[in-house]
Structure 1
Amino acid sequence: MTTKQHLYSMCDEYVESRIQRILKSLKDLEEDMENEGKNSAGDKYETGREMMSEEWNKLSNQLKEFKQQKDTLKLAKSRQDAQHVQLGSLVKTSASNYFVSIPAGKLELDNEIYYAVGANSPVARLLMGKLEGEEFEFNNIRNNILTVN
């Protein structure tokens, strides 16, 4: 398995673990809502229901966001390697290594650090379209792009 394939796998595990955690929270909340209905009445019941409803909406939005990240990851994986930085590129620079895919954060593989960043992140926007050997400035530091694949 290539480095890029490993990083895809790590990002997929990241997203899937978040989705599963949210689904469990939604299931637990649904059970709580059922129990609240059996045990409560009056204003206290309505307040509790409203708080649970807000939590449900928050979790539902998070679930939607992580499902979109999963779709973005699939799109990134389907991209053909290119010489310029694009969604799905693995970019090694003089300062850091970036995997332009989803915002999964710091990933460690074979004693090297990679930062999985979304295509709309500040560093990814600076990198997009650039080629090996080009320079860019991030956080007031000049960087060279060493490899793009």
Structure 2
Amino acid sequence: MKEQLFTACKDYLEERINRIQSSLEDLNEALQNETKSSAGDKYETSREMINTEVNKLSVQLQQFKKLQATLEMARIRKDSTTVQLGSAVKTSAANYFLAIPAGEINSGKEKFYAIGVNSPVAQALMGKAVSENFSFNGKENKILDIF
């Protein structure tokens, strides 16, 4: 099951990265096709808007590439009896996969939430073991399984 979670996160990242790279290619093409018109200010404004969007997408691309590195670190981590990066955790409230913030993942009959280790719920879980309680959103929950 853990491999399914990793695969779902990897697919999530690849889809986002491909979408950003496609948008960057489209913007670069638009930038090359932008011809200087007699209205110079309009030309400069248009080019600047395209450059601003390229810069925003470039930052997003770098963030997703960092998430890929984090996911790889989570994948190579050894299983542990306590919650850490790469752990899949079943709790009395919900199931979590501590790797990257990729949202809800359906794995067979079970639903997991892929979360980053800096998220509040991950911070509440870190270092805890099976049968330990943790508090999140003012509610006490219990760790049922870690794998």
TM tier, smaller = over 0.9
Q: 1:19 aligns with which of 17, 20, 24?
A: 17
Pairs within 5 Å for 1:116-127: 116-127=114-125
**Matched residue of 2:90: which SS?**
strand
Which amino acid counterpart does residue 103 of structure 2 have in structure 1?
Answer: G
- Partner residue, 1:66: 64
Which amino acid counterpart does residue 93 of structure 1 have in structure 2?
Answer: T
CA distance in 2: counterparts of 1:126 and 1:74, whole angstroms: 23
Return 5+ residue gaps in structure 2 as ranges. Answer: none
- Partner residue, 2:37: 40
Superposed CA offset, 1:101-137 (max 9, x none):
0000011111211000001011001101000010011
The sequence identity of aligned pairs, in percent, is 53
Which amino acid counterpart does residue 133 of structure 1 have in structure 2?
Answer: S
Q: Figure out how many residues of one structure are paired with residues of the other and give that number.
A: 146
TM-score where L is the length of structure 2:
0.97
Cα displacement (A) at 1:93: 0.1
Superposed CA offset, 1:60-117 (max 9, x none):
0000000000000000000000000000000000010000000000111112110000
Which amino acid counterpart does residue 127 of structure 1 have in structure 2?
Answer: L
* CA RMSD after TM alignment: 0.8
CA distance in 2: counterparts of 1:113 and 1:140, whole angstroms: 22
Cα displacement (A) at 1:4: 0.3
Return 5+ residue gaps in structure 1 as ranges. Answer: none
